[in-house]
Amino acid sequence: MNKKRPKHLALHLIKLPLAGYVSILHRVSGALLFLALPPLLWALQYSLRSIETYTRLMEILQHPLGKLVWLGLLWAFLHHFCAGIRYLAIDLHLASGLAQARASSKWVLGVSLLLTVLIGVKLC
């Protein structure tokens, strides 16, 4: 058994399928949502404390950087939600074929981005 295997795996040369990118983005969006919990809870507390702190929070959120952060969190939530539904469908054997998995990964990206744009335009 003299197999010629690489000693070091070149990760930058590996071509992932679209479902692989959806899986990675699902993990990234979940981690982003988890890390955003303390600032979101702080913002909720800040908005409920008094009218002055609420006004200050609204000023912060009206800043373009604040809007970008909210838009990023909105995308993270929507992508994580849509990908979670995809994984539930796969676990229930509703989308178990290769063609269905590829199509559902395209749908996850499309729907999450479309909903992010629609809701983002409505909110901003």
* Range of the structural domain that residue 79 is part of: 19-123
The pLDDT-based confidence of 76 (bands split at 50, 70, 90) is very high
What is the secondary structure of 56-70 as a DSSP string? HHHHHHHSHHHHHHH
Q: How many domains does one find in the chain?
A: 1
The reply to whether 51 falls in a domain is yes
CA distances from 70 to 3, 76, 87, 113, 115 (A): 51, 10, 25, 14, 14
- Cα–Cα dist 99/82, whole Å: 18
Query: Rounded to the nearest 5 degrees, what angle is found at the Cα of 82, between the Cα atoms of 78 and 85?
Result: 145
SS (H, E, C) 13-27: HCCCCHHHHHHHHHH
Query: Which pLDDT belongs to residue 2?
Result: 65
The reply to whether 11 falls in a domain is no
The reply to whether 6 falls in a domain is no
Query: Which pLDDT belongs to residue 1?
Result: 59
For the entire predicted model, the pTM comes to 0.83
The reply to whether 8 falls in a domain is no
